Structures are given as C-alpha cells and as structure tokens.
Amino acid sequence: MLPWVLLDSAKIPGNEGELKLYQRGAEFSIRVGQYELMNSRIYGSEDALGMLAAELVGERTGARILIGGLGMGYTLAAVLKGLGRKGGVVMAELVPAVVTWNRGPLSALAGRPLDDKRVTVVVSDVGNVIGAEAGAYDAILLDVDNGPAALVSKTNDRLYGNRGLQAAFAALRPHGFLAVWSSNDEPAFTRRLRHAGFEVDLRRVRARGAAGGSRYVIWLARRGA
C-alpha cells in the first residue's frame, strides 16, 4: 500500500493545532493530529448537506446561501448544482490554506466549485460573517469542526450556543433555513434550536451516500415568517 505523503500544514487561527493535508495516490486527507476531519473518498454526507439546502431554497429567485467550512469543496459543489443562475453563495473559510488547497491539489475533486462566478470566498470566521448582516441569507450551512460537539477548536462552540443560534436566526430571511452537519446527534442542540425560534427537522445521512458507511446527522432548522 502506498504511504501517506504530507503535502502541507497550516495553523488554525485562534488555536494551537494545525491542519495537515496528506495524499496517498489519488486519495487526500485533511487531519488535525491523529483525527481525520475529511477524506476525499468519503463525502456522501457533505453532498447531502448541500443537496438538501439546494432543494429547499435553490429555486428562489436570487437565493443567497452562506456556507461555513469549505472542506474539500463537496458541499459547495452540491449547492451550486441546485442553485439558480441568479443565486449566490458566500463561502466562509477560517483557514486561508484550505482555500489555497482547494484552488490547487484538491481543485479537481469536486469539479473546481471555487471557479464558479456565483461564489464569493470570504476568509474569516463564519460567526463573524453571520453577525455582519441581518436578513441576508435564504440558507446558512454549517459544516464546521465536528458539529455542535466541537473537537478541533472550542471557539467553535459559540456558533452552536444560544447566542450563535440567535445570530443565525437574525441573519436569515423569512422562511430561511439553518442546516447543520454533525458526526453525532445532540438532543441538547435540538432543544437550543427550538428555543431560538426554529422549527426543527433531523435527517440522518450516510458517509458514503447510497453505499452506506458511518451515520451522521443534519439538522434542518427553519425560520418562520
């Protein structure tokens, strides 16, 4: 078996850890320490997150979607497939190197979605982007860290706490959606979503899509009028 080769590493802003990009043949892996955040062979749940959001709002005229967490570009690519020509995506990524990787060695994996003219890349904490503008988005997608049970950076907790959810609610347009990916179900997070005023639908998805694999969770939280 081919060995993993380290291609690059990058500091995580506000964190002592490093993201590391590895390659083994045609396969890529992004890790923090010994923990694998994502792998280019396993992206069914990322596809599901993007497709669900596109199904919910993609046909709205001029739909505007915010994605937090670029990863390997699969969620962004799935959103773009279902988004109308007049729609737009704000892609927020905290680590500048992840954007560089997606324009370089990872670019072909998801079909170069960053090249799409509907995409605006913002290198920033997605929490700051959410708080910058009220009533701005038809959907906000969060694929940050490990979900509400943050593993990589405890600063990500603020996205999923009461204040973070209130900020997301305010940033959404009427009938907009907050979609959140997680490696595990968190009943306390469902309660926080409802407390913030959202109507909540929980979806279970597989790591390899129809091929199965590990089970993950996506919350679809709808803001009313």
Residue 206 has pLDDT above 60, yes or no: yes
pLDDT at 152: 53
DSSP label at 150?
-
Q: Tokens at residue 171, please?
A: 């940033």
Query: In this structure, what are the phi and psi dihedrals at residue 173, rounded to the nearest 5 degrees?
Result: -75, 165
Question: Which pLDDT value is given to residue 157?
Answer: 64
Tell the CATH superfamily of the 43-222 domain.
Answer: Vaccinia Virus protein VP39 (3.40.50.150)
Q: How confident is the model at residue 208 (pLDDT cuts 50, 70, 90)?
A: low
Higher pLDDT, 209 or 171: 171
pLDDT at 150 over 80: no
Which structure tokens are listed for 169? Answer: 């609610």
Dihedral over Cα of 91, 93, 96, 100: its sign:
negative
Is residue 2 exposed (0-12), middle (13-18) or buried (19+ Cβ within 10 Å)? exposed
Task: Note the pTM of the prediction, 2 decimals.
Answer: 0.92
83-92 pLDDT, tens per residue?
988 999 999 9
Confidence bin at 210 (pLDDT 50/70/90)? low
pLDDT band at 184; cut points 50, 70, 90: confident
Interval 1-31: pLDDT, tens: 899 999 999 998 877 789 999 999 999 999 9
Give the type of residue at 90.
V
Average pLDDT, the chain: 90
Whether the per-residue pLDDT at 154 is higher than 60: the answer is no
Question: What residues does each domain of the chain span?
Answer: 43-222
Strand partners, 216: 205
pLDDT of residue 103: 98
pLDDT (0 to 100) of residue 191: 94
Residue 209 pLDDT more than 80? Answer: no
Q: For residue 161, which of 139, 186, 134, 140 has the smallest C-alpha distance?
A: 186
pLDDT tens for each residue of 100-141:
999 999 999 999 999 999 999 999 999 999 999 999 999 999
For residue 189, the model assigns a pLDDT of: 92
